[in-house]
């Protein structure tokens, strides 16, 4: 998911001189926890081996029409092209797993499926505020000038790669960052920083021989382990894709009206993932267990009201309506097939 740059500007207290004073990494992590981050780790601002897969991925056309990824490819290759003084990347993770069943547990094709990450408030806003508070605290603790730029899916940064190298979690075969204790229902954010801090050990791959996510994807979007073709991904099609969705893929979208979680729901590391009671991520009443016909029956004004302050703004009312119509057709087709099976002539 991606949005425009956050707030008035992501960087603070500019100084291109690397600081000589040492800041306490343990204290930064304790403060991060106090501010509502469940995980915090520190990666080096270095030439990390996984960064190079990005260009290969673009060359295969797997970014679909997300032209901003192509435009920013050079900067995405290394955070030092974003912040030349960078020495470290402080990565944070927040568990957004609200207490509701997975879409794979729902047999009713008439129930609208909305990706878990989008149920509550817009994570860009929530995490940005918390990161700003962390940066402000760091400046207060460390009076010498240093550079710190905070991003939440808003900058030209390959967040998952830095998260893996900060020890937050490994990049699973479904391409999501998985933490062994919290699973993969995690938002990521980072502070690119000119301070020299203690670096964490990278997380190691714990997917093993499992391939459940690859097999479960209804559109076969995971072409090989850790390589996702956006053109086939239900998340991309329902959120990022503009205009008509390719008709060959429509049936596989099922009742997904915004995003998709299937490759994470089938993951064994999410089988007992802890729930978050953070009010920011609890489902808004408009989306909570909503049926497709109820959603279809809402006025533009009602939908626009519910989208305010939510990441679901990205599709606008028009995009959401397009998705709901496909889902309604899919639900009717599924119901007809079930009727035929129950009553064969
Ligand atoms: C573009 C984008 C998308 C696109 C493309 C996703 C993709 N897998 O590439 C679409 C629209 C499909 C999408 C969907 C989703 N997204 Co998104 N998305 C992004 C964004 C903006 C960029 C990701 C990117 O650069 N993709 C390009 C690929 C190449 O990079 P990558 O996914 O990081 O993959 C790395 C590895 O796979 C590895 N790699 C690749 N090939 C190989 C091969 C080998 C052999 C090895 C070892 C490694 C390896 O290197 C890659 C980096 O070069 C990030 C934010 C950011 N700035 O990073 C959020 C982000 C990845 N998205 C996020 C979320 C929450 C989602 C969804 C869950 C939302 C939903 N439920 O609908 C889905 C998940 C679908 C999925 N399985 O990825 C979170 C993920 C958090 C997490 N725990 O991982 C992020 C980090 C946003 C955030 N700040 O929280 N997203
Ligand atoms: S489902 Fe299996 S292969 Fe896929 S990410 Fe989870 S552990 Fe890895």
Find out whether the beta carbon of 207 lies less than 6 Å from any atom of ligand 2: yes
165 contact partners, CB below 8 Å, separation of at least 6:
43, 44, 48, 89, 200, 202
Mean pLDDT, range 221-232, rounded to an integer: 98
- Separation between Cα atoms, residue 320 and residue 144, nearest integer Å: 48
Q: Greatest CA span in the chain, whole angstroms?
A: 82
Catalytic residues: 153
- Separation between Cα atoms, residue 54 and residue 69, nearest integer Å: 9
- pLDDT tens for residues 92-129? 999 999 999 999 999 999 999 999 999 999 999 999 99
Q: Tell me whether strands 222-224 and 227-228 are parallel, antiparallel or unpaired.
A: antiparallel
Closest approach atom of ligand 2 to CA 172 = 5
- pLDDT tens for residues 282-305? 999 999 999 999 999 999 999 999
- pLDDT tens for residues 266-278? 999 999 999 999 9
C-alpha of 99 from chain center: 18
Q: Which residues of 306-327 are buried (b: 16+ CB within 10 A; e: fewer)?
A: bbeebbbbbbebebbbbbbebb
Nearest ligand, measured from the Cα of 157:
1
Find out whether the beta carbon of 42 lies less than 6 Å from any atom of ligand 1: no
Find out whether the beta carbon of 6 lies less than 6 Å from any atom of ligand 2: no
- Separation between Cα atoms, residue 37 and residue 91, nearest integer Å: 10
- Separation between Cα atoms, residue 171 and residue 183, nearest integer Å: 11
Query: Which carries the bigger pLDDT value, residue 305 or residue 143?
Result: 305
Which residue puts its alpha carbon closest to atom 9 of ligand 1? 228
Find out whether the beta carbon of 176 lies less than 6 Å from any atom of ligand 1: yes
- Supply the pLDDT for residue 345: 61
CA of 272 to the centre of ligand 2 (A): 14
């Amino acid at each position: 998911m991606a949005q425009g740059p956050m707030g008035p500007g992501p960087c603070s207290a500019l100084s291109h001189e690397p600081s000589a004073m040492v800041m306490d990494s343990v204290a930064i992590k304790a403060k991060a926890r106090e501010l509502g981050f469940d995980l915090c780790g520190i990666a080096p601002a270095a030439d990390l081996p996984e960064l190079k897969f990005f260009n290969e991925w673009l060359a295969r056309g797997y970014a679909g029409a997300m032209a901003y990824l192509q435009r920013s490819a050079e900067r995405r290759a290394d955070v030092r092209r974003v912040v030349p003084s960078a020495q470290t990347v402080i990565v944070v993770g927040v568990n957004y797993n609200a207490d509701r069943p997975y879409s794979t547990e729902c047999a009713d094709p008439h129930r609208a499926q909305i990706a878990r990450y989008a149920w509550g408030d817009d994570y860009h806003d929530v995490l940005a505020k918390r990161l700003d508070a962390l940066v402000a605290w760091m400046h207060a603790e460390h009076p010498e000038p240093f550079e710190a730029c905070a991003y939440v899916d808003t900058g030209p940064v390959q967040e998952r790669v830095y998260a893996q190298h900060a020890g937050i979690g490994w990049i699973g075969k479904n391409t999501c960052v998985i933490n062994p204790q919290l699973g993969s229902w995690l938002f990521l954010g980072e502070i690119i920083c000119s301070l020299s801090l203690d670096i964490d050990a990278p997380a190691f791959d714990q997917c093993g021989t499992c391939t459940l996510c690859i097999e479960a994807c209804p559109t076969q979007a995971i072409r090989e382990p850790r390589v996702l073709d956006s053109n086939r991904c239900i998340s991309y099609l329902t959120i990022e894709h503009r205009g008509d969705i390719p008709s060959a893929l429509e049936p596989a979208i099922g009742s997904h009206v915004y995003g998709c979680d299937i490759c994470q729901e089938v993951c064994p590391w999410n089988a007992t993932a802890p729930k978050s009671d953070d009010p920011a991520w609890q489902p808004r009443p408009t989306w909570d267990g909503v049926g497709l016909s109820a959603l279809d029956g809402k006025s533009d004004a009602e939908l626009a009201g519910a989208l305010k302050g939510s990441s679901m703004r990205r599709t606008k009312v028009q995009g959401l309506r397009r998705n709901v119509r496909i889902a309604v057709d899919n639900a009717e087709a599924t119901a007809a097939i079930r009727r035929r099976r129950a009553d064969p002539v």
